[in-house]
């Protein structure tokens, strides 16, 4: 598994923290062991640390960018992002190297 940090801005971090759908949604993409973080000085900044399936031996960084971009555009993901109060256009992915 690869460790991935997913960060974004939200309207209300308390609403985001109690998301009932996040674990199931990320599990559908093979991501497990979600840990949540909220900005100490700015509670609208939040992040997840997840364990994700590692890229295959033939996948390159460009392929991972396509994967994360397509995941962020997936209808089920968009629905959960809206429910969780994620501000559009603020998702960022950092992949462990």
Q: What is the mean pLDDT of residues 9-32?
A: 90
The position carrying tokens 């959960």 is: 80
CATH of residue 26: 3.30.70.100
Cα–Cα distance measured from residue 43 to residue 9, given in angstroms and rounded to the nearest whole number: 9
What pLDDT does 95 receive? 82
Q: Is the Cβ–Cβ distance between 50 and 33 less than 8 Å?
A: yes
Burial class (CB in 10 A: 0-12, 13-18, 19+), 81: buried
Q: How many domains does the chain have?
A: 1
Structural domain containing residue 87: 2-95
What pLDDT does 14 receive? 96
What pLDDT does 66 receive? 65
28-82: per-residue pLDDT in tens? Answer: 888 889 999 999 999 999 999 998 876 666 555 545 666 677 777 788 888 989 9
**What pTM, to 2 d.p., does this model score?**
0.83
Cα–Cα distance measured from residue 35 to residue 51, given in angstroms and rounded to the nearest whole number: 9
């Amino acid at each position: 598994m690869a460790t991935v940090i997913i960060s974004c801005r939200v309207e209300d971090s308390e609403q985001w923290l109690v998301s009932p759908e996040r674990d199931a949604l990320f599990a559908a993409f093979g991501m497990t062991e979600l840990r949540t973080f909220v900005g100490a000085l700015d509670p609208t900044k939040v992040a997840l640390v997840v364990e994700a399936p590692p890229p295959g031996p033939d996948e390159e960084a460009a392929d991972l960018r396509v994967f994360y971009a397509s995941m962020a555009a997936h209808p089920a993901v968009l629905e959960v992002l809206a429910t969780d109060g994620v501000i559009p256009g603020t998702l960022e992915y950092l992949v462990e190297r």
